[in-house]
Amino acid sequence: MLPRPNGILTVLSCLTMLAPLSGQALPPAGRLLASQCAQCHGTDGRSVSDIDSLRGESARELYSEMLEMKYDNDPGDIMHSQAKGYTEGQIRLIADYYATLNQGGGGTGGEEEHEEHKEEHDD
């Protein structure tokens, strides 16, 4: 049986407290939660298909969009179902994680790279 999403947040909190004891740095809290997103939106937030890329978006924008999906009742969109599975706190962690990719916290580019990548797909 898989852990409930709320349990994942509890486990992450516990691991954060143990990190100083082990001497090892933990990955960003939202990274584990965002692994579900990577299947469609790319491992670094750059989609390789016609699905929206998340890289280049602000944490506020991502958070707002996910909340809209969470509380909207559109059963035909997979993202609405996905968003309902997360708490608002978990959505915040995911949004913050993807926003760090724009600042070099796991990626190398920012807005310029996002625009360049977007232009590649527009051709």
For position 62, which CATH number holds?
Answer: 1.10.760.10
Looking at the domain assignment, is residue 75 inside a domain?
yes
User: How many C-beta neighbours within 10 Å does residue 36 have?
Assistant: 13
Per-residue pLDDT 10s for the chain (123 aa) are 545 555 555 555 555 555 555 667 777 888 999 988 988 998 888 888 888 889 889 999 999 999 999 998 877 788 888 999 999 999 999 999 999 887 655 443 333 333 443 444 444
What tokens appear for 90 in the block?
């978990």
Looking at the domain assignment, is residue 89 inside a domain?
yes
Cα Dmax for the chain: 51
Domain that holds residue 80: 30-107
Q: How far is CA 4 from CA 1, 48, 55, 56, 109, in A?
A: 9, 30, 27, 30, 34
Provide the 3-class DSSP secondary structure of residue 98: helix
What's the predicted TM-score (pTM) here?
0.64
